[in-house]
């Protein structure tokens, strides 16, 4: 099998885990690639490991192994958005909702190599920006698209339409449009509901809305969402999966809809979404 190792941070702990993973894969007769920038950070010089740029991942790779936290896995998802390569996340960060393995990954990793896993397809959002000159730019999000105010002391006025129907005129610090996967990310901290990632749905969560009666809304995963900044907004910032950021203004039209792309995550049979909720959010534990 072929594996590509993906990461962006380096310390003694990460270097130790990467070295162990490489040794296990090489000794098992597998072919190993590693992101070139990650290899440089680790000062890796292994004769049997091939360094590759992030835009040149071989299409016949069987798995991408993301080493870090959810942010690292999200960046790997961007790299394979058009290529259905499953991602196996090893959490060396803090929360790790998207990852399947933790720091004690060794026994479960062996099970995965022996075929004891399944693949979950995760919904992706297509975010299209339409510019005044007629040009367009398309972005994709596994977690969320966030539109937030650019000025610290001003609220952001937004008009949101679902298809051709007006949903609301929002006045808030911003707006989070997320997939079910992203419902446990920024949207959760902004008061949004948790959505089973197997559902096809789009969640719209206002960030600190000016009117307290404005609440998160869950839409079917078939809707086209049109967002316009009001002229008095001047400009705002748009973020995709917390990484791809840009300044937008009222002349730019934003359309968000479900994408035909899917991200494949490697999942262990005994580590379900509900198990993660109980473990990561400490449900059922008494405070001392």
Task: Render pLDDT for 201-251 as a digit per residue (tens, 0 to 9).
Answer: 999 999 999 998 999 999 998 889 999 999 988 899 999 999 889 999 999
Share the mean pLDDT of the chain: 93
User: What value does the mean pLDDT take over residues 4-14?
Assistant: 92
**pLDDT for position 178:** 98
Task: Find the length of the chain.
Answer: 288
Q: How far apart are CA 20 and CA 26, in angstroms?
A: 10
pLDDT of 256 over the 90 cut: yes
CATH 3.40.50.920 at 2-117+268-280, yes or no: no
**pLDDT for position 288:** 59
* Pairing mode, strands 236-240 and 144-149: antiparallel
pLDDT band at 72 (very low <50, low <70, confident <90, very high): very high
- Which fold would CATH assign to domain 124-260? Tumour Suppressor Smad4 (2.60.200)
Identify whether the C-beta of residue 265 lies closer than 8 Å to the C-beta of residue 98. yes
pLDDT of 154 over the 90 cut: no
pLDDT of 152 over the 80 cut: no
User: What value does the mean pLDDT take over residues 253-259?
Assistant: 97
Return the domain boundaries, the chain.
2-117+268-280, 124-260
Segment among 65-79, 157-171, 269-283 with least mean pLDDT:
269-283
pLDDT of 287 over the 70 cut: no
Q: Is the pTM of this model over 0.85?
A: yes
Share of the chain above pLDDT 70, in %: 99
Segment among 116-125, 161-170, 228-237 with least mean pLDDT:
228-237
Residue 104 known to be catalytic: no
Q: Which of 23, 40, 60, 70 is catalytic?
A: 70
């Amino acid at each position: 099998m072929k594996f590509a190792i993906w990461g962006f941070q380096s310390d003694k702990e990460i270097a130790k885990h990467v070295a162990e993973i490489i040794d296990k894969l090489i000794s098992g007769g597998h072919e190993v690639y590693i992101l070139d920038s990650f290899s440089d950070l680790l000062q890796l010089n292994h004769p049997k490991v091939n360094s590759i740029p992030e835009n040149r991942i071989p299409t016949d790779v069987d798995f991408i192994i993301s080493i870090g936290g959810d942010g690292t896995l999200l960046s790997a998802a961007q790299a394979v958005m058009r290529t259905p390569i499953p991602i196996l996340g090893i959490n060396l960060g803090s929360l790790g909702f998207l990852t399947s393995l933790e720091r004690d990954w060794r026994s479960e990793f062996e099970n995965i190599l022996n075929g004891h896993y399944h693949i979950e397809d995760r919904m992706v959002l297509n975010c299209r920006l339409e510019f005044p000159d007629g040009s367009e730019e398309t972005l994709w999000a596994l977690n969320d698209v966030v539109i937030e105010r650019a000025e610290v002391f001003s609220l952001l006025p937004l008009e949101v339409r679902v298809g051709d129907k007006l949903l609301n005129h929002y006045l808030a610090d911003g707006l989070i449009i997320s997939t079910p996967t992203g419902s446990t990310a920024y949207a959760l901290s902004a008061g949004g509901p948790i959505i089973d990632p197997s559902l096809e749905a789009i969640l719209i969560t206002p960030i600190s809305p000016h009117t307290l009666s404005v609440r998160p809304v869950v839409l079917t995963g078939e809707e086209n969402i049109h967002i316009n900044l009001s002229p008095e907004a001047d400009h705002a910032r748009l973020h995709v999966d917390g990484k791809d950021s840009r300044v937008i203004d009222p002349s730019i039209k934003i359309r968000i809809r479900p994408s035909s792309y899917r991200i494949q995550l490697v999942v262990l049979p005994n580590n379900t979404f509900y198990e993660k909720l109980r473990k990561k959010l400490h449900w059922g534990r008494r405070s001392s």
